[in-house]
Structure 1
Amino acid sequence: MAKKKKDNRTRADVTREKETKDDRLTLKEQLSDSIFEKLQAKKRELKEEEIQKEQEEEARRAFEKKQREKNMSFEELLSQHGDKGSKY
């Protein structure tokens, strides 16, 4: 049979531990409302910039792909797409 470990903490230790957990403030509580709103606005702005950059990158890749296909020779196009004569 396994023996139970005895908890050596006193009631005062447990109470102090609970008080310190309750006394901790979150970052939102520590900052003033105006500063918190500025941080939230900056977060939204950065997220929008990131989305815009992703869209620009996607458009650039599509344009480059189109340019590569435009500059391919007939032989390269035929080898890439195969003989799909039934299409025409």
Structure 2
Amino acid sequence: MSKKEQREGSLSEQLNEDVLTQLRSKKSELKQSEAERLEQEKQKRLEEKKKKEANKSFEELLNESELDWKTFKK
């Protein structure tokens, strides 16, 4: 093997390592952005649930209650 062939082989191996490094980096970035997106969606759902709960009428809250009001009535 000549020196030129050794350099080309090294260059191709190095290029592949660079490409793999870039792909791994991109993969971790995508995982992080997906995790952030899911967390934002979760926070949004919790906020909507709190707003909905705060806007319920007394009648709705009473109907959702598990207490049997007839047992307190005598």
Which TM class, normalised by the smaller chain length?
A: 0.5 to 0.7
Is residue 31 of structure 2 the alignment partner of residue 47 of structure 1? yes
- Paired-residue identity, %: 39
Give the drift of 1:84: 7.0
Runs of 4 or more off by more than 4 Å in structure 1?
Answer: none
Stretches of structure 2 that go unaligned for 5 or more consecutive residues are 1-12, 70-74
CA–CA separation in structure 2 for the residues paired with 1:41 and 1:84 = 58
Give the equivalent residue in structure 1 for 2:40: 56
The TM-score normalised by the length of structure 1 is: 0.58
CA–CA separation in structure 1 for the residues paired with 2:49 and 2:57 = 14
State the superposition RMSD in angstroms: 1.9
Q: Structure with the greater relative contact order (CA < 8 A, sep ≥ 6): 1 or 2?
A: 1
Stretches of structure 1 that go unaligned for 5 or more consecutive residues are 1-28
Give the equivalent residue in structure 2 for 1:20: none
* Structure with larger Rg: 1
The TM-score normalised by the length of structure 2 is: 0.68
Change beyond 3 A, Cα 1:84–1:52: farther
5 Å-filtered alignment, 1:4-83, equals 32-83=16-67
CA–CA separation in structure 2 for the residues paired with 1:64 and 1:38 = 39
Higher helix share: 2
CA–CA separation in structure 2 for the residues paired with 1:84 and 1:48 = 48
Q: Count how many residue pairs are aligned between Structure 1 and Structure 2.
A: 56
